[in-house]
Chains A and B, each alone.
Chain A
Amino acid sequence: DAGITQSPRHKVTETGTPVTLRCHQTENHRYMYWYRQDPGHGLRLIHYSYGVKDTDKGEVSDGYSVSRSKTEDFLLTLESATSSQTSVYFCAISEQGKGLGYFGPGTRLTVT
């Protein structure tokens, strides 16, 4: 299995609180991605990174920010969580950037 982990795996938080999800890889892959999975929507890209300190927005980036200060870590922050951000969040990594990557196990986030 590819070396990609996510923490925490489960989190329940209240509306308005900040939340940070962490993705850690040991593969030294250049590209890292954050997706959310929701029923009826499949997987939607939130943000991605193409190198240290290089990030760009995906299709559902509103309400989210990211940071990548090291190759191995990609952080997703919800500045002020809302109920619409209740979802399962997946991190993915890719060496080539053509989608031939690996996904992490996911983080289930519930905002009450």
Chain B
Amino acid sequence: DQQVKQNSPSLSVQEGRISILNCDYTNSMFDYFLWYKKYPAEGPTFLISISSIKDKNEDGRFTVFLNKSAKHLSLHIVPSQPGDSAVYFCAANGFGNEKLTFGTGTRLTIIP
């Protein structure tokens, strides 16, 4: 049972445009959400996170939006740059739970 779902395996976006990556979750006990970025042959790196008490968190070109009623979060990258081409993983965990549950990932390709 996939508790964190990324339904788009891949996404292509023109350089300079907005990239929107989506993530859905089913476990209502999740209260903390994270995005990780992964380049080939490297480990994932933390990108941005959001707590369930917020609906938006921004860090430079990256913004994460959380819609708790829809159990949906999204990552916006504006403007998209070639170095953003990578696999993006959504992850979540619940209060008092040290274990992260990851989605299957979305491969983002930025077209120059």
Contact = CB atoms under 8 A, between A and B. Distances in A.
Given A90-B44, A100-B49, A106-B41, A58 B102 contact: no
Interface residues of B, number: 23
A31 B98 contact: yes
A42 B105 contact: yes
A58 B99 contact: yes
A31 B32 CA distance: 17
B27 interface: no
A30 to B, nearest CB: 9
B83 interface: no
A102 interface: yes
A99 B90 CA distance: 12
Contact of B98 (A41, A42, A97, A102): A97
B43 A104 contact: yes
Given A43-B89, A45-B100, A103 B105 contact: no
